[in-house]
């Protein structure tokens, strides 16, 4: 998701936020830990998606599901950052 892409989905629904988080998680898991710039870019993308999630007005259940996905990505990025 580029900056423009992120802005486009700012008012995104539950499904698109979840898909964005899952895509990002795959990118993080396959990212080379020695590439600090890549990890930082993924972190920026994570922050953008988190902002979308903060603006998301859905049911409590949907928010819990998205927060769980968000946590997975956060932990994966944190694991990569330990190596940078």
Cβ–Cβ under 8 Å, residues 10 and 55? yes
Closest-CA residue to 66 (of 40, 84, 46, 37): 46
Confidence (pTM): 0.75
- Tokens (6 digits) for 33: 């830990």
Q: Residue 82: what pLDDT?
A: 76
Which residues touch 67 (CB under 8 Å, ≥6 apart)?
53
> Binning pLDDT at 50, 70 and 90, where does residue 5 land?
low
Q: Residue 10: what pLDDT?
A: 47
Please state, in angstroms and rounded to a whole number, the distance separating the CA atoms of residues 13 and 18: 9
Q: What is the pLDDT of residues 28-67, one digit of tens each?
A: 999 887 888 898 899 999 999 999 899 888 889 889 999 9
């Amino acid at each position: 998701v580029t900056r423009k892409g992120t802005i486009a989905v700012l008012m995104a629904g539950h499904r698109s936020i979840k898909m964005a988080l899952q895509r990002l998680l795959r990118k993080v898991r396959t990212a080379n830990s020695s590439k600090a710039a890549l990890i930082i870019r993924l972190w920026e993308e994570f922050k953008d998606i988190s902002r979308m999630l903060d603006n998301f007005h859905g049911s409590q259940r949907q928010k819990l599901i998205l927060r769980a996905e968000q946590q997975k990505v956060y932990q994966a990025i944190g694991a990569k950052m330990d190596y940078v």
